[in-house]
Structure 1
Amino acid sequence: MKDAQPRTVRLRDYRVPDYLVDQTRLHFELQPRGTLVRSQLHIRRNPEAVAQENGGADIKLPPLELQGVELELLSLAIDGEPVASESFRTSVEGLSVDVERPEFVVEISNRINPEDNTSLEGLYLSNGMYCTQCEAEGFRKITFYPDRPDVMSRFTTTIVAPRDYPVLLSNGNEVERGETEDGRHFVTWEDPFAKPSYLFALVAGDLQHVEDAFITASGREIKLQIFTESKNIGKCEHAMRSLKKAMRWDEEVYGREYDLDIFMVVAVDHFNMGAMENKGLNIFNSACVLASPETATDAAFQRIESIVAHEYFHNWSGNRVTCRDWFQLSLKEGFTVFRDAEFSADMNSRAVKRIEDVSMLRTAQFAEDDGPMAHPVRPDSYMEISNFYTLTVYEKGAEVVRMIHTLLGEEAFRRGSDLYFERHDGQAVTCEDFVKAMEDANGVDLQQFRRWYSQAGTPVLEVTDAYDPGTGDYALTVRQSCPATPGQPEKAPFHIPLKMALLDPIGNDMPLDQAGHTELVLQVSEAEQTFRFKGLPEKPLPSLLRGFSAPVKLRYGYTPEQLLFLMRSESDAFNRWDAGQRLAFIALESLQQDYRAGREMQLSPELVSAYRAVLQNRELDPALVAEMLSLPSAQVLAEEAGEIDAQAIIAAREFAEVSLGQALHEELLATYRAFTREGPYRPEADDIAARRLKNTCLAFLAATGEATYLALAQSQFESAGNMTDSAAALAALVNRGSEAQMHGALDSFYKRWQEDTQVVELWFALQSNSARCGTLEHVRALMQHPAFELKNPNKVRAVIGGFANRNFTQFHKADGSGFEFLSDQVIALDRLNPQVSARLVTPLTRWKKYREAVGSQMHSALKSIMESGQLSADLYEVVSKSLA
């Protein structure tokens, strides 16, 4: 455990490193409980530090500070001479060494224990395989080192292991392999590109691999390899295909060509994250790389394609150009999330991809902005950097990059990215450097725009309009504000791109200027602005925030009739979907009011009519139709509520889903049949869209509880030729079927797939997420299941995380038992894996938004965590800020 009250690290205190490491040579002798690590570091005084501290006069050399956690120091030498004990000091955070000259070689030997490393940071054992995870500060658990991203070094790594670990991998290109005198073997890897220690990687195990090749635009052949356990070797084809697509796309869209001779991916079962972009050796959570039609859903196929692309794109936006410090994390993550989103949009449905991304923002990132851990895209401070791998840094950071793209246009943005990569290749830089490249390449001023990096919170745009029929003048007035967030009570105006159009009475986009443009990006930069349009023959209906052009909350007084009009006529697919969401929100809010007043609930006929029209429209993309039929989630309803009434939200959504299924059963059944396709499974956009719409209809039909439709679900479950249809039918039976149907289907599914780890995780999640079967008692029983493992983050996320984050009904039971359960699990997990425990506690942190009785229960659960004893730095930061 770390200190229960860790120090706060602040951006304003950043100073350049005292020393640089030009060359790092590492030698590993792998043993489960006693791995020996020898390092040789070629170090020199940093000229920039000398200039900053002494005006260029280096009078006294500062000590060399090397971070190291849970390491057994065996030996320490400088330039071949052992360092006297009085010349170095050890602490729980590392090693401080007195030095006598500005350039020297440090040699260190230390021992580590991979077998007992349950934190999954540094070097650890996963199902008999050695694996590393060094971002953000895991390298200090391997050896003593200046473990910070602005110290970039060229690494040479030698791995020595017994023969039962035949595969030995690290960063770069293989330069040597051979036998040792004691019967073991070794492989040496050399990375020609300087990198920070967080990008170091090592893998050793009994693995199989698939291999392919990619020919770059310049004609170079790159060897591609994906490593996994032998039982999973047949699940790598999709990831390999996705990798080749990503490599080609990055060349065509960004002009970025891969730089090493080999690119490797390794699938690991025990992993805290989705994947890691280590230079040339990407390590993936198995769930994010392994897929086959029989075992992976469409969503999993698309997620794998996106994540493979994301990690590959990091080769330039993260590796070749990296972060100066961890406050700049969004420099690489926000930019790369934007890049992978654009890639996924090009590979699949652009409209649906945008809807999915915005749904995540509204569900979770807006909640983060409104909670105790709210922080800017570039945080000002942190206690534990692992806590800032957040939706704000990643998803909102991507939205910030997207806004620059919207403001500049595609060609200008490409000029800016080209300059950014050219100017900063091989450097550790800041968010300002990225924005400056965009400015310099295009002669624009983005000074005010930089506030998106430094101000927290979700801005609100209040829009009103006025039309003068005598002159044809139309005025659109926009007022922006941003709520107070921790440490930032007042906010200066943001620079917000507001993409918009004006619709005439039959739904056509009206000309907005003399050039005849029918869509404009208004640049909102003041607290209040009015935009004027002249010569309009009739009052228009504004189409605002098209494509969700900025991560803001839009307030405009659309009537239900206007929303119905937009659902029918809007040419912007995102706004068409959003109009339906707003109409559904109005209907669900009315149902919540009925519930609280004890009145009989009645679903808005406008919503039924709107959904019927959507179902009957065969001209729309089926994937978009499926999205338009999806009710706002309980989490979105909670985020929009001034005070969260969990029971009212649950009752309203349940009633609406059942009512829509009953009212539209004929249209739903007709659509289900129309989009049921025969033939082999293809993870292609058109087939995915058909399955998505078909299974959306099935969920509504099953919600009626009618035996006919449950029999339809049963038939689909028994005959499904792919996991998408099988899982959708299973979910329908679990949520709506009889006890016999539910248990029979669950038992059958598990019996068939019990040997497949990823499918078992899906089986766990379907149950823990279920409002019906995912009771607390059932979740506790799942934790006793032989396939569950508390040390495995994927299993924890599937069972405990699924219950707390996605089972709104059962988690929010009025007796508070769900909150108490979560607090107990967080305490237990904190002793094993602090990163997982700190992320798992999130649902409790919103206690102030709930009605008093429920909020009090959540607060008590947080207090029990705080009072449980010494907490990790990760968990302490989240809980202490939530209780403040």
Structure 2
Amino acid sequence: MLNVSDNKNNNQYIKLEDYKPFDYEIPNIFLDFIIEDKRVIVKTELEFIKKNININSLILDGIDIFVEKIYLDESLLEENNYSIQKNRLLIKPILKETFTLKIVGTIKPKENFSLLGMYESNGIITTQCEAEGFRRISYHSDRPDILSKYKVRIEANKEDFPVLLSNGNLVKANDLKHRRHEVIWEDPYPKPSYLFALVAGKLNCIKDNFNTKSNKKVEINIYVEKGDEKYVKHSINSLKKSMKWDEEKYNLEYDLSLFNIVAIRHFNMGAMENKSLNIFNSKLILANKETTTDEELERIEGVIAHEYFHNWTGNRITCRDWFQLSLKEGLTVFRDQEFTSDLHNRSIKRLEDAKFLRKAQFREDSGPTSHPVRPEKYLEIDNFYTTTIYEKGAEIIRMLKTLVKEENFNNGFSNFISTYDGKAATIDQFVNKILENNKEINNEKFKTWYKQNGTPLVKFKRKWDKEKQILKIQVSQINSNKKNLYNDLPLIIPINIAIFLNSYEKIKKTLILKEKEEEFTLENINSKFDSPIISYFRNFSAPIKWETDTTFAEKLLILEFETDYFTIYDTIKGIYKKIICKRIYEEPDINIENKLITTLRSIIRNNKSINLSLLSEILSIPTFSEIESEIKKVDPLKVYKTIDDLNYLFGTKLKVELLNKLKEIDKNITKLWPEGKDERKLIETIWRLLLHSKYEGIKNKVISYIDSNSMTLSKAALNVFTRINCPERELISNIFFNKWKHNPVVLDNWFFFKASIEINNNQKNIEALFKNEYFDVKSPNTLKSILNAYVTRNSLFHSRDGSGYKYVADKILEYDKSNPIVISRFLKIFSTFRQYENPYKRNIIKVLDYIKKNKLSPNTREIIDAILN
């Protein structure tokens, strides 16, 4: 691998093809942290074993570290034996094959506002080392394929920093003179530097325990800031469920007797899987039904599982280099999806995962920041923590499971764990283990999924011989993104289909497409229809788009006969998209609209056994962000108006049925999660439709829930008033704000709501949020709440004069200085500008050029260059 620091300073890309092992092993590291008022002294001892006997120098990475002394073994190095430049430390000559390097340095966490490395916030010292944060703490090669055993000593003032945590086991704790104390932590398992963690500060601990399958007692500790103790029960239960599930599903038992979690508000990531010391953004730990929605409770459960599952897929086995990031992230997303599916409703979970992928990852794949799941190059690795790496990576693994079947997949997974435990592995090695005994699937051909970017398109055409009862399905695949040479190669694509023979009988099969064009012949198809009706990619069996020759009438029959939740959802969203596009292009099809309304009325009235979350999806008109990337020549203001008009139409036409359903489900909406969650999801959809229909009788009922002891219902009341301009909107805003203004995690919902609503002097209203006394300038959550709501929910962001774009551009420049990770990811909202009509497209280009002319962080520079490329 090329030296990261050197390349970054020259704006050169790191390339996968240039990977080579590090010249040294570092089997053991001792870190001694002496925390003082304005600085932290860091004494690092690294044991080196030379692997490349032809090398006589050593290069280590470091940022903002003041070096006081360097020792090679016991000898103090003179300054002519080392140099520090361009964020790297060069030592030469080094003639020994084994040696210890001791570096005495100083860092200043209070002056570190990057939320990377070691930083202090609210009096708490925290670390975030993934991907390249450790180099802000100590000089190190800071790459994932160097695995070391860590021993850590921490010393600090006991009153200011009563809690001192690091990875592994606590082996010593002593009081020292002058009101100071020390602890020593030792991690028995080798790990890369990005998994190092340290937390020091005033934190309260909630304790619990878990007995593993071998009857080992694991102590569970969750550390939170004072006052947050009452919000951790859900997280503890989620962790214990995760530990039990991994034992039962994959025979993976936790390997230490201690598991610590720390909840920090000023934390850029959702959570970080540091070995035995997970650090979480507070939003993903603190929860109960009064402060947390049903969706958030399930997400917290899933994220806690995700970070715990990393103990094996990420920690015990890590990735060889950052190009293999999806090895740990895609695989662990797949595992947490399976966990949630087993605990809750598998069909609904699959629908939700597919919905998120198509909304977020398909958008990413269709724009200029599109990249393969295993990229070929990068400038800033932080920019590759994307839905492509995570969610699309998980989908590729799900396809593997579909292709080899569950038992074979589980055997391959177990073989991967046993073979690479304690090592840094690659995506190729994982795929090879899963397909090791499979004769049907070509390993190298399947790996093309990791090399392509863009979303493939599959086309279907039926050929039906009714007399001979032979159905032929002609299938072709294409990737319209031509920037990647791998995109011309055919993919192996599993296609779950159902062939409907009549209203109650269907044939389910999995077709495996291997070439660019294939024809599948199915015999003895005794269909009662003029042509067999087929549903494709049931259960979303591959992350692709597709086109079929299915007629509108057949789609309505699929809605009536299909049992696969995803297919039902996909079918009706396709109909909604057609209706929206017809209206946008001023060619409304009233016949299609009326037939859909008739079908929906029948479903609400007659299908009493339908899952209520599924019914909610069926009744939900797509939002702007869901439809934006599906339309060519986007006029955003017209899209928003069309969606509002359809909500009015469907709410008006279905009012009687919606009110009856509201009465029917009302008795279950107060049940404790996870019970009642389907009813609560549906109630928000019904409220929205009825409010858009201008039915005044629903307003007081919705308002009555804003002060509910269920955050799901309180937030639903906020959400449904977002686009309803009436005096009651300000009333519910004030009620919610006054109730929750002292709870920053919950108050982010209010910031999101306020940034979503459209009022006169809109940018003045948004600016007032940034100046609100409860806006926390260091909180990534609050910053994202305001910015994301404004650009995805507020049509005035798309003002024809470009003022909304210019306002956001100024915020990007302002906050890029303090939080480039959040801003570089947020900047991607402009990535679809080529699909926009003028003046929107012209206005976006103008603000992008404006942003580019300013001094930017490397993260943001890489993204804007990609967008404008």
Q: Which of 111, 114, 126 in structure 2 is aligned with 1:119? A: 114
1:833-869 alpha-carbon deviations (Å, 9 max, x no partner): 111110111111221121132111111111111101x
* 1:843–1:371 Cα change, 3 Å: same
Question: Does structure 1 retain, via aligned residues, the 8 Å contact 2:669–2:676?
Answer: no
Structure 2 counterpart of 1:141: 136
Structure 2 counterpart of 1:492: 489
Question: Does structure 1 retain, via aligned residues, the 8 Å contact 2:294–2:712?
Answer: yes
Aligned pairs for 1:193-592 (under 5 A) are 193-442=189-438, 445-488=442-485, 490-510=487-507, 519-538=508-527, 539-592=531-584
* 1:325–1:587 Cα change, 3 Å: same
Opposite residue 105 of structure 1, the aligned amino acid is: T
Question: Does structure 2 retain, via aligned residues, the 8 Å contact 1:272–1:836?
Answer: yes
Q: Which of 158, 169, 178 in structure 1 is aligned with 2:153? A: 158
Question: Does structure 2 retain, via aligned residues, the 8 Å contact 1:661–1:701?
Answer: yes
Q: Secondary structure at the match of 2:732?
A: helix
Structure 2 counterpart of 1:724: 712
Structure 2 counterpart of 1:31: 36
1:294-337 alpha-carbon deviations (Å, 9 max, x no partner): 11111111110010000000000100000000000000000000
* 1:809–1:734 Cα change, 3 Å: closer
**Which one is further off, 85-94 or 21-30?**
85-94
Structure 1 counterpart of 2:756: 769
**Which one is further off, 137-146 or 618-627?**
618-627
Opposite residue 471 of structure 2, the aligned amino acid is: Y
Opposite residue 793 of structure 1, the aligned amino acid is: P
Opposite residue 739 of structure 2, the aligned amino acid is: R
Hey, what's the Cα distance between the residues in 1 that align with 2:832 and 2:761? 22
Structure 2 counterpart of 1:593: 585
Q: Which of 11, 36, 46 in structure 2 is aligned with 1:41? A: 46
Hey, what's the Cα distance between the residues in 1 that align with 2:120 and 2:44? 21
* 1:209–1:677 Cα change, 3 Å: farther
Aligned pairs for 1:97-112 (under 5 A) are 97-98=91-92, 99-112=94-107
Q: What is the CA-CA distance between 1:777 and the residue it aligns to?
A: 2.6
Hey, what's the Cα distance between the residues in 2 that align with 1:752 and 1:78? 60
Q: Secondary structure at the match of 1:191?
A: strand
Question: Does structure 2 retain, via aligned residues, the 8 Å contact 1:330–1:394?
Answer: yes
1:110-139 alpha-carbon deviations (Å, 9 max, x no partner): 111111211100001121111000000000
Structure 2 counterpart of 1:53: none
**Which one is further off, 155-164 or 807-816?**
807-816
Hey, what's the Cα distance between the residues in 1 that align with 2:110 and 2:644? 47
Hey, what's the Cα distance between the residues in 2 that align with 1:447 and 1:774? 57
Hey, what's the Cα distance between the residues in 2 that align with 1:752 and 1:774? 26
Hey, what's the Cα distance between the residues in 2 that align with 1:771 and 1:533? 55
* 1:592–1:146 Cα change, 3 Å: same
Question: Does structure 2 retain, via aligned residues, the 8 Å contact 1:710–1:737?
Answer: no
* 1:814–1:507 Cα change, 3 Å: farther
**Which one is further off, 641-650 or 134-143?**
641-650
Q: Which of 77, 81, 90 in structure 1 is aligned with 2:75? A: 81
* 1:408–1:32 Cα change, 3 Å: farther
* 1:32–1:416 Cα change, 3 Å: farther
Structure 1 counterpart of 2:785: 798
**Which one is further off, 115-124 or 703-712?**
703-712
Structure 1 counterpart of 2:860: 875
Q: Secondary structure at the match of 1:37?
A: strand
5+ residue gaps in structure 1? 51-57, 511-518
* 1:5–1:881 Cα change, 3 Å: farther
In the alignment, structure 1 residue 707 sits paired with structure 2 residue 707: no
Q: Secondary structure at the match of 1:547?
A: coil
Opposite residue 197 of structure 2, the aligned amino acid is: A
Structure 2 counterpart of 1:809: 795
Higher RCO (Cα < 8 Å, 6 or more apart): 1
Hey, what's the Cα distance between the residues in 1 that align with 2:545 and 2:668? 42
1:754-794 alpha-carbon deviations (Å, 9 max, x no partner): 11111111111122233569933321111111111333211
In the alignment, structure 1 residue 733 sits paired with structure 2 residue 721: yes
Q: What is the CA-CA distance between 1:730 and the residue it aligns to?
A: 2.5
Structure 2 counterpart of 1:624: 614
* 1:771–1:525 Cα change, 3 Å: farther
Q: What is the CA-CA distance between 1:275 and the residue it aligns to?
A: 0.2
* 1:419–1:712 Cα change, 3 Å: same
Hey, what's the Cα distance between the residues in 2 that align with 1:489 and 1:575? 30
Hey, what's the Cα distance between the residues in 2 that align with 1:242 and 1:279? 18
Hey, what's the Cα distance between the residues in 2 that align with 1:679 and 1:329? 41
Q: Secondary structure at the match of 2:126?
A: strand
Structure 2 counterpart of 1:848: 834
Question: Does structure 1 retain, via aligned residues, the 8 Å contact 2:757–2:794?
Answer: no
Hey, what's the Cα distance between the residues in 1 that align with 2:306 and 2:835? 34
Opposite residue 28 of structure 2, the aligned amino acid is: Q
Opposite residue 657 of structure 2, the aligned amino acid is: E
Hey, what's the Cα distance between the residues in 2 that align with 1:4 and 1:203? 31
Q: What is the CA-CA distance between 1:639 and the residue it aligns to?
A: 1.3
Aligned pairs for 1:635-654 (under 5 A) are 635-654=625-644
Structure 2 counterpart of 1:54: none
* 1:485–1:862 Cα change, 3 Å: farther
Hey, what's the Cα distance between the residues in 1 that align with 2:591 and 2:288? 44
Q: What is the CA-CA distance between 1:734 and the residue it aligns to?
A: 4.1
Question: Does structure 2 retain, via aligned residues, the 8 Å contact 1:774–1:810?
Answer: no
Structure 2 counterpart of 1:67: 61
Opposite residue 868 of structure 2, the aligned amino acid is: L
Hey, what's the Cα distance between the residues in 2 that align with 1:441 and 1:774? 65
Q: What is the CA-CA distance between 1:557 and the residue it aligns to?
A: 2.5
Question: Does structure 1 retain, via aligned residues, the 8 Å contact 2:669–2:677?
Answer: no
Question: Does structure 2 retain, via aligned residues, the 8 Å contact 1:321–1:427?
Answer: yes
**Which one is further off, 767-776 or 833-842?**
767-776
Hey, what's the Cα distance between the residues in 2 that align with 1:722 and 1:117? 38
**Which one is further off, 611-620 or 652-661?**
611-620
Q: Which of 729, 745, 760 in structure 1 is aligned with 2:747? A: 760
Hey, what's the Cα distance between the residues in 1 that align with 2:543 and 2:668? 41
Superposed CA RMSD in Å reads 1.8
Question: Does structure 1 retain, via aligned residues, the 8 Å contact 2:452–2:484?
Answer: no
Hey, what's the Cα distance between the residues in 2 that align with 1:324 and 1:562? 49
In the alignment, structure 1 residue 92 sits paired with structure 2 residue 83: no
Hey, what's the Cα distance between the residues in 1 that align with 2:321 and 2:761? 42
Structure 1 counterpart of 2:732: 745
Structure 2 counterpart of 1:788: 775
Opposite residue 876 of structure 1, the aligned amino acid is: R
Q: What is the CA-CA distance between 1:88 and the residue it aligns to?
A: 0.9
Hey, what's the Cα distance between the residues in 2 that align with 1:20 and 1:639? 47
Hey, what's the Cα distance between the residues in 2 that align with 1:875 and 1:75? 35
Hey, what's the Cα distance between the residues in 1 that align with 2:759 and 2:438? 56
**Which one is further off, 352-361 or 481-490?**
481-490
Q: What is the CA-CA distance between 1:434 and the residue it aligns to?
A: 0.3
Of all paired residues, the percent bearing the same amino acid is 34
Q: Secondary structure at the match of 1:717?
A: coil
Hey, what's the Cα distance between the residues in 1 that align with 2:61 and 2:391? 31
Hey, what's the Cα distance between the residues in 2 that align with 1:678 and 1:496? 42
